Amino acid sequence: MKKEFFNTKMKRNSLSDRVVEYVLTRTIDELAALTVESVAFNLNINRSHLSRTFKAEKNFTIEEFVFKIKIIRAATMLKDNVDLTIKEISKRMGFCRCDYFIRIFKRYFGITPARYRELIRKKPYI
């Protein structure tokens, strides 16, 4: 074998990539309760270091990332779980108030959760 093979180091995932992977693999219930402290604890990293590094690498905070993932998962729930009310979805995603969830959802998608669900029913291929 060539000598270079033994001298090369395997590329490790960046810290922010490890955070992204960790967050994306959480269940709905785990995601709803997720905090920077719990991410840091589970990845065995200092909270301050984790926050600074993630922000430097991704240009947004862990909190902002988790928030976006919650909204995207809520949209999926609106589409896939027509038996759940918007209030129930809001609560499952960890929002204390349904009106706050609706306002944030509208900020991200440009329409309310009810309108989103209505459009999904008309166009099931979305």
Comparing CA positions, the residue from 29, 98, 96, 23 lying closest to residue 54 is 23
pLDDT digits (tens, 9 = 90+) for 78-116: 999 989 999 999 999 999 999 999 999 999 999 999 999
Domains of the chain in sequence order: 14-122 (1.10.10.60)
pTM of the predicted structure, to 2 decimals: 0.79
Distance CA 33, CA 23 (A): 11
Distance CA 44, CA 41 (A): 5
The structure tokens listed for 35 are: 């905090």
